[in-house]
C-alpha cells in the first residue's frame, strides 16, 4: 500500500519577531535587525541562535555593500 505524504503547512497564527544587534564594520558600530516569522518567541529565539552564523554573514555582506540592513528569516 502506498502512502502519500502531505505537505507541511505553516500555522496561520505566526507572528513576526524582531531581534536587534550591533555589528562592527570599518571601526564603526552599526545597528542591525533580523525579523523572524514564528509561532512564538521561544521558537523565534531558537531559530535566531541556530542560524546566527548565516545571519552574521548576511549582515556583514550587507554592511560591506551598503544595502538594506534588515534581514528576514521565515520559519518554514
Q: Identify whether the C-beta of residue 55 lies closer than 8 Å to the C-beta of residue 23.
A: no
**pTM summary value:** 0.68
Q: Would you write out the chain's pLDDT as a tens digit for each of its 76 residues?
A: 555 555 455 556 889 999 999 988 888 888 888 888 899 999 999 999 999 999 888 888 888 887 655 555 554 4
Which secondary structure element, helix H or strand E, spans residue 45, and what is its range? helix 41-50
Cα 33 to Cα 55: distance, rounded to the nearest angstrom:
10
Pick from 34, 36, 41, 38: nearest CA to 12: 38
Amino acid at each position: 500500500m502506498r502512502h502519500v505524504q502531505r505537505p507541511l503547512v505553516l500555522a496561520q497564527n505566526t507572528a513576526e519577531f524582531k531581534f536587534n544587534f550591533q555589528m562592527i564594520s570599518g571601526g564603526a558600530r552599526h545597528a542591525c535587525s533580523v525579523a523572524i516569522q514564528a509561532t512564538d518567541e521561544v521558537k523565534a529565539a531558537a531559530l535566531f541562535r541556530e542560524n546566527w552564523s548565516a545571519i552574521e554573514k548576511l549582515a556583514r555582506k550587507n554592511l560591506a555593500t551598503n544595502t538594506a540592513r534588515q534581514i528576514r528569516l521565515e520559519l518554514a
